[in-house]
């Protein structure tokens, strides 16, 4: 299941990110690729342990912590420090899999990659091509979102970024380990939470059935969560 989360960053934040990134040093994107994906990866990225990536990444983590839709959909346990990349004309990232485990050299953090995240930092009109294509059981999905929006997709999927033919595609990307490992269980939790929020709008938080459904929601989290 792919889930889009709008307005994670404001347009002002995006402009500030872009300004900071424009003056930063970039490196070959293959430095963080596994051996298979290095063969099909052509882009640039901010050095992952550099100050620019860390500071901007920290701002993204703060924004995510305040985003109810993201929390509800991902139920995150640990989020990998966000990375940043850009694709100029002719650059692309062919079909690949993401590594199942990712370690961060600076913090020693290790996570199992349950969900992959792309946070778009360029408007769709700034570039042609550069779509994220995700293959799952339901087929092939093409994603290209406004700047400041993100997409969550299963790290188990094969995916790619099509060649950019004009302009520059700028994004942040990272992975997370969810408290709920099983994707099906996670989607049930998300569905239930979304339904409860809609009922709260209509009936209020103190409605007896809303209370019981909320109890069921928390009991399912108790049943499935791994910390
Ligand atoms: Ni990937």
Ligand 1 centre to CA of 210 (Å) is 39
The span from the CA of 112 to the CA of 102, in Å, is: 7
At a CB cut-off of 8 Å and minimum separation 6, what does 116 contact?
A: 98, 152, 153, 154, 155, 157, 159, 173, 174, 175
- H or E, element range at 21: helix 11-22
The mean pLDDT value for 58-86 works out to: 98
What's the gap in Å between 132 CA and the centre of ligand 1?
9
CA of 62 to the centre of ligand 1 (A): 23
On average, the pLDDT of the chain sits at 96
Phi and psi torsions of 184, nearest 5°:
-70, -45
**pLDDT the model gives residue 53:** 97
Could you tell me the distance, in angstroms and rounded to a whole number, from the CA of residue 14 to the centre of ligand 1? 22
C-alpha 28: how far from chain center: 21
Q: How much of the chain exceeds pLDDT 70, in percent? A: 100
Would you give the distance in Å from CA 10 to the centre of its chain? 16
Q: Mean pLDDT over residues 107-119, rounded?
A: 97
Q: Ligand 1 centre from 205 Cα, in Å? A: 40
CA of 97 to the centre of ligand 1 (A): 6
Q: Is the pTM of this model over 0.75?
A: yes
Cα of 222 vs centre of ligand 1, distance in Å, is: 31
The residue ranking higher by pLDDT, 102 or 1, is 102
């Amino acid at each position: 299941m792919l889930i889009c989360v709008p307005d994670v960053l404001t347009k002002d934040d995006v402009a500030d990110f872009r300004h900071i990134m424009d003056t930063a040093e970039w490196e070959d994107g293959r430095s963080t690729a596994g051996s298979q994906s290095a063969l099909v990866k052509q882009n640039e990225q901010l050095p992952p342990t550099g100050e620019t990536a860390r500071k901007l990444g920290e701002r993204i983590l703060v924004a995510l912590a305040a985003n109810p839709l993201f929390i509800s959909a991902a139920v995150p346990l640990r989020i990998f420090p966000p990375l940043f990349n850009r694709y100029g004309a002719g650059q692309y990232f062919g079909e690949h899999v993401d590594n199942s485990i990712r370690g961060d050299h600076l913090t020693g953090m290790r996570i199992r990659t349950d969900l992959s995240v792309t946070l778009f930092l360029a408007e769709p009109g700034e570039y042609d091509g550069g779509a994220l294509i995700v293959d799952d059981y339901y087929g092939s999905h093409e994603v290209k979102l406004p700047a400041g929006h993100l997409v969550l997709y299963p790290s188990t999927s094969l995916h790619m970024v099509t060649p950019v033919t004009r302009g520059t595609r700028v994004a942040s990307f990272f992975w997370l380990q969810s408290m709920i490992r099983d994707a099906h269980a996670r989607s049930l939790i998300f569905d239930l939470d979304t339904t409860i929020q809609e009922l709260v709008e209509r009936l209020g938080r103190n409605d007896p059935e809303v209370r019981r459904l909320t109890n069921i929601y928390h009991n399912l989290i108790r049943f499935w969560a791994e910390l």
